[in-house]
Amino acid sequence: MTKASPTPGRRPQRIGIAADHGGFELKQYLLGRLREAGYHVTDFGDHQLQPHDDYPDFVIPLAQAVAAGTVSRGIALCGSGVGVSIAANKVAGVRACLIDESFPAHQGVEDDDLNLICLGGLVVGHAVAWELVQTFLAARFSGAERHRRRLAKISALEIPATKVRA
């Protein structure tokens, strides 16, 4: 497996991370590991464990930063990873997916230009989560024509419909 660490001599990737109470502890662990590996990490919250917080409050700003290019990739966590995936995919330009195995962590980037990984803080342990994040960050979009064609069809759905005059 290729480890995710900034290429020597190149500017480290800017990574965004966000979690609610269900992913808070895992977020704190990953935040430390990412910084140790040399990444510039923006923490979109929550910044303290609050049992009644709501993941959209943190994940939507993260997804907006990914879409705007303020951060190159995002990591979103909640208890199962499902809620953050649903929320992040509501932001145009974001391609988020719940990942729990190594293959989709890189294949999702290579074929589908995945730009935000979603993890379940109550589902995956530290070691597996770190491996998945490293795999996700090391992967690169292939740019193959068939993948670009498919992504264009998906992106077309994000364009607001224009009213047709009769």
Q: Which residues are catalytic?
A: 78
Tell me the three state secondary structure of residue 97: strand
Cis upstream peptide for 53 (omega within 30°): no
Q: Are 84 and 100 in contact (CB under 8 A)?
A: no
Tell me the three state secondary structure of residue 52: coil
Cα dihedral value 98, 99, 100, 104, nearest 10: 140
Tell me the three state secondary structure of residue 54: coil
Burial of 150 (0-12, 13-18, 19+ CB in 10 A): middle
Backbone angles phi, psi at 96, to 5 degrees: -110, 150
